Amino acid sequence: MDIDFKNVTEVIGEIKNLLENEFRNVSIVGEITNLSLSSAGHWYFTLSDKDSAINAALFKMDALRNPHIKNLKDGDKVIVGGDISVYPKRGTFQVIAKKIIPFGKGDLKAEFEKLKRKLASEGLFDLDAKKAIPPLPKRVAIITALRGAALADFINIYKRRSIWMDLLIVPTLVQGDDAPRALRASLHNVIKFSMEASLEKKIDLIILARGGGSLEDLWAFNDEGLAWDLFNCPIPTISAIGHEIDFSISDFVCDFRAETPSAAAEVITHQQTLIKDKILSLKQRLVSISEIKLSRISNRLKYAHPHSILNIILGLLSNYQKRLTRNNLKNRLNELTHIHEFYLELDENIERMKTLLKEKMTKLNHQIDKSHRLLEVLNPKNVLERGYGYVETNRGNVVSSAEIYDKLEDQTTLNLHFYDGTRKIQKIEE
């Protein structure tokens, strides 16, 4: 039998042509959720109303023409103008926005704020009404989707950090129209179970958990009836709904809010982790002290062995022999009399004296040379070479003036000195 068929690409191509040709330049009003900005400058968000949602994208160039996009946030109501586009690789369609006009606050956001103000005025958020979270709960009930990522993350941390704690998993719906009723029923069942259970099986703590999502996805936790059930719950409660930026009415009513399910697991196992760390620390200290004790005992046993004692005695004997050798007076004559120090000091003094004498001789030689040069300058013979002479008596007295010459006796023999010799002369009276 022949079957007329088309492949996926062909079908998606026909749908793409039909949608993109039919829905051009459309205007859609809705509420913004999941608004995010990519590193490339493109904006992505979901446009939704009470019953439906459609993905939308505002690319960088169009975002520059709509600068107020930076001031929008989840829950704002807008009018989006653009074209419907089909993405063939995923078989999905979205709005390629060209223009965004703020329309006012979204209906869901307004409803949330209205209920929040109402319950706050009725005292459901009062801190005085909140119960203390037990630091070491023995049995914990977690109300969440059975196959959700929130439960998987919670169990992963619970197994890694918990020492003792029974975990009661209560599967329920966490999204959709029937979710509020399912959540309330699960909460009532846990309370009933705990009230009817024996003392060792009573529930110490209840956790409401769900992964992140849009305002519509988390709307079940904004149910007013669920809020009153949590407020009247006799068991301490923790809300672990969405991500850190997500808030629901249950977050404000529960006794404690954890940013995520993983954070809730860390909170309830915190004290157990401290105890575990303390036990490990004490164990390490005990092992270390035991090893030190065993090492000391082992060393004592080793030193108490006859061979060890003999080695100690032989070591002492050798040490005493060395000390006796060092104390031998004959070998220590120089050391004890310090004569070697005198020898050293004498040698140093001799060397110092040699140095001083050498310096003194050098100084004297310098003075002699200086005096010799001065005598050379004053030597009368140097004057005689220039044609001068002098008269000297036989006794060696110089006749330096006419007065002295006149006083000499007649016929006195005198010596007349020239530069190249001496001649004899006599004084003759005129």
Instruction: Tell me the two tokens of residue 179.
Output: 């979710």
Residue 36, helix vs strand vs coil: strand
Question: Do 352 and 306 share a structural domain?
Answer: no
Question: Do 79 and 147 share a structural domain?
Answer: no
Question: Do 404 and 352 share a structural domain?
Answer: no
Which tens digits make up the pLDDT trace of 167-225? Answer: 999 999 998 888 999 999 999 999 999 999 998 889 999 999 998 877 777 889 999 99
Residue 377 lies in a domain: no
Lowest average pLDDT, out of 11-15, 114-118, 228-232, 277-281, goes to 11-15
Question: Do 207 and 85 share a structural domain?
Answer: no
**In residues, how long is the chain?**
430
Chosen domain end from 83, 105, 127: 105
Q: What pLDDT sits at residue 307?
A: 77
Question: Do 259 and 391 share a structural domain?
Answer: no
CB atoms within 10 A of CB 142: 26
Q: What pLDDT sits at residue 342?
A: 74
Q: CATH number for the domain including 220?
A: 3.40.50.2300
Residue 34 lies in a domain: yes
Which residue would you say has higher pLDDT here, 411 or 382?
A: 411
Question: Do 47 and 27 share a structural domain?
Answer: yes
Lowest average pLDDT, out of 144-153, 271-280, 322-331, goes to 322-331
Residue 403 lies in a domain: yes
Chosen domain end from 105, 129, 147: 105
Mean pLDDT rounded to a whole number for the chain: 85
Residue 257, helix vs strand vs coil: strand
Which tens digits make up the pLDDT trace of 55-109? Answer: 999 999 999 888 888 888 888 888 898 999 888 888 888 999 998 887 755 567 7
- pLDDT above 60 (res 349): yes
Residue 3 lies in a domain: no
Q: Indicate the number of domains in the chain.
A: 5
Q: What pLDDT sits at residue 366?
A: 93
Question: Do 77 and 63 share a structural domain?
Answer: yes
Looking up tokens 């068929």 gives 5
Instruction: Tell me the two tokens of residue 198.
Output: 């024996």
Cβ proximity of 417 and 391 under 8 Å: yes
Q: Which amino acid is at 182?
A: A
Residue 147 lies in a domain: yes
Chosen domain end from 268, 290, 312: 268
Cβ proximity of 107 and 77 under 8 Å: yes
Q: What pLDDT sits at residue 195?
A: 92
Question: Do 221 and 127 share a structural domain?
Answer: yes
Question: Do 219 and 234 share a structural domain?
Answer: yes
Residue 2 lies in a domain: no
Question: Do 60 and 176 share a structural domain?
Answer: no
Please tell me the distance from the alpha carbon of residue 282 to that of residue 278, in angstroms, as a whole number: 6
On whether the pTM is more than 0.85, the answer is: no
Residue 390 lies in a domain: yes
Question: Do 143 and 236 share a structural domain?
Answer: yes
Domain range holding 219?
112-268
Residue 175 lies in a domain: yes
Question: Do 244 and 122 share a structural domain?
Answer: yes
Instruction: Tell me the two tokens of residue 388.
Output: 């001068």
